[in-house]
Amino acid sequence: MAEAYPTPLAGQRITAGLLRSMQPQTARKTADTPRSATTTATADPHLQFEVEANAVYTWWGWIKYDAPAAGDINIDFTAPSGALGEWTAIGVGIGRVVGATDAATPVVQADTQASTGYMVRVETTDVTAARAFGGLGTAGTPLTVDLKGTLRMGSTPGTFSLDWAQRVSDATATTVYTDSWITMLRIA
């Protein structure tokens, strides 16, 4: 059976609060955030939501970033105690050098179509576990991560946030750009 939240009842008064609770909520970055020389993931200042106890949410988003090939980006989420769920993303894998000549080995390509293709990560991850994505090392060549997941809250409400840092500490900044976004929809 499909889930929806809330379920209006016959004769129930329709209020602005009730209507708002039925809509997806979107957090959008309104400024670029650069981070350099750190592998400690911290909450993005824009990509955060207040979540309710015992609720269930689905979420999806798009992250635009630029990272040095030596630094990459590590994405993680923080959820209140007792929360469970999974997330997945499609984004550039890590560990190859741009311009490698072995056509049998996938490499990261920047705006090109080649026989080597793109490496991507698509496996599922626990909602509070980290996953790394590659950087090109070419300044001004943004990459993206398309993400989605489910969050099942326990009895503790709180903040759900996208946390991130460099995978490997590098003096060149990894930047998450303006207009990256995450949308959450409460379904139960």
Confidence of residue 101 (pLDDT cuts 50, 70, 90): very low
146-164 tens-digit pLDDT: 999 999 999 999 999 999 9
CA distance 173 to 71: 8
CA distance 96 to 107: 5
The domains of the chain are located at: 24-186
pTM of the model: 0.85
Q: Which residue has the tokens 């980290």?
A: 130
Query: What is 24-186's CATH number?
Result: 2.60.120
Q: Are the CB atoms for 79 and 186 separated by under 8 Å?
A: no
The dihedral sign for the CA sequence 86, 124, 159, 183: negative
The yes-or-no verdict on residue 106 having pLDDT over 90 is no
